Amino acid sequence: MHTASSNKTVDVTPLFQAAGIPTSPLTVIETAGMYPYKAKVEDNWAYYTAVGCKRFKELLDAEKKNVCDIGIVGICSGVEGIAIAKIFSGTLRRLIVTDVDEEILEGTVVNINRAMVEETTTVIPLVGSFCEPIEHAGYTVDFVHANVPNLPAGGEENLSRGAEKGTFIPSTFYETYSPPQEFVSWALAAQWAYLQSARRVVPKGGSVLTELGGRVPLELVRKLFDECKLAFSELIVGFKEQTEALIDFEGYHRLEKEHGVAFEFYPYEQGRKLLKRNGISNPTFKVSGEEIKKLLASQKVSAGEALALHKKGVPVGHTVHLFRGVKE
């Protein structure tokens, strides 16, 4: 249990400005258990969700698909929930937000309702893993979005703290979905479980969005969507410094040693400058993740190498993607 005195009020207005989402000044309350908002806008996953969902709305408009009901999994403080509610404000009826942590959800609902765009939208908080609480409550949604932790918890983490809760996931949450070993080795087991659970709460033609650090080969992500019977596309790609750097590099390096894989990171400043020199905005939908990875390829380092660079004070980054799967 966290005390009210450990709560912080965080100004998230710059994120909305950078994403081009009009808002009056906007703050959220952040508890110690919430994944922390970062002062630099481009360090926030919610920024990429916000820009990616604007792009998604344009595509849905072109496809003549209306959005009334949305699910967001692993919501945390609700910044991306506010962005999504604003983007889809014209038609949004139910915004269903889930997290494994009940205390987080209490704060999230306060944050979203304070910023709420339309009174005709109801925010429905549900506690549970992946899309399971949405399914159990009997809802279907036009689309569901998630940014779930990918690293299996090793047991020594303190999962009551926001940074660790946003990074590690107990394997018991995904093991019931029997993820194939290849996805387990590449830290994609939680993604597998989320996609499988999401298929059950969207209708045919509905969308499943996931935000994922591109630390894995993108062919594998395509394969993941194929095997989950979701038609794959990418909404946006960006480049982000690895936040929670030490615990992430150690966690991914542990998997490299256990499974003989090599994750894909890049020295941050070099990568950022290279993309800038090539006129690529962050994020973008004009260039694909595959093209960006080709451009960065000569600078690629593994998690083990990233850990060594981090220990020398060199910041390391990775690509970040918002992927869309359409239920076939």
Ligand X SMILES: C[S@@+](CC[C@H](N)C(=O)[O-])C[C@H]1O[C@@H](n2cnc3c(N)ncnc32)[C@H](O)[C@@H]1O
Give the residues lining the site for ligand X (CB under 6 A). Answer: 35, 45-46, 49, 73-76, 80, 98-101, 104, 129-130, 147-149, 165-166, 169, 173
State which residue, 46 or 195, has the beta carbon closest to ligand X: 46
State which residue, 35 or 225, has the beta carbon closest to ligand X: 35
Written as six digits, the tokens of 45 are: 């996953």
Q: What distance, in Å, lies between the first and last C-alpha atoms of the chain?
A: 43
State which residue, 6 or 278, has the beta carbon closest to ligand X: 6
Instruction: Give the shortest CB-253-to-ligand X separation in angstroms.
Output: 19
State which residue, 200 or 294, has the beta carbon closest to ligand X: 200
Bridge partners of residue 230, in order along the sequence? 327
State which residue, 198 or 296, has the beta carbon closest to ligand X: 198
Instruction: Give the shortest CB-46-to-ligand X separation in angstroms.
Output: 4
Question: Are the CB atoms for 8 and 30 separated by under 8 Å?
Answer: yes
State which residue, 173 or 265, has the beta carbon closest to ligand X: 173
Question: Are the CB atoms for 95 and 112 separated by under 8 Å?
Answer: yes
What letter represents residue 243's amino acid? T
State which residue, 71 or 267, has the beta carbon closest to ligand X: 71
Residue 113: name the closest of 85, 134, 90 by CA. 85
How far is it, in rounded angstroms, from Cα 120 to Cα 122? 7
Instruction: Give the shortest CB-223-to-ligand X separation in angstroms.
Output: 22
Report which residue's Cβ sits closest to ligand X: 74
Bridge partners of residue 211, in order along the sequence? 322
- Cis amide linkage into residue 217, ω under 30° from 0: no
Instruction: Give the shortest CB-131-to-ligand X separation in angstroms.
Output: 8
Establish how many alpha carbons lie within 13 A of residue 107's alpha carbon, considering only the half-sphere containing its beta carbon. 26
State which residue, 75 or 195, has the beta carbon closest to ligand X: 75
Instruction: Give the shortest CB-133-to-ligand X separation in angstroms.
Output: 9
Instruction: Give the shortest CB-79-to-ligand X separation in angstroms.
Output: 6
Bridge partners of residue 232, in order along the sequence? 325
Written as six digits, the tokens of 145 are: 């979005």
Q: What are the residues whose beta carbons fall under 8 Å from the beta carbon of 15, sequence distance 6 or more?
A: 37, 41, 44, 46, 47, 50, 79, 83
How far is it, in rounded angstroms, from Cα 298 to Cα 277? 16
Instruction: Give the shortest CB-132-to-ligand X separation in angstroms.
Output: 8
Question: Are the CB atoms for 43 and 241 separated by under 8 Å?
Answer: yes
Instruction: Give the shortest CB-303-to-ligand X separation in angstroms.
Output: 18
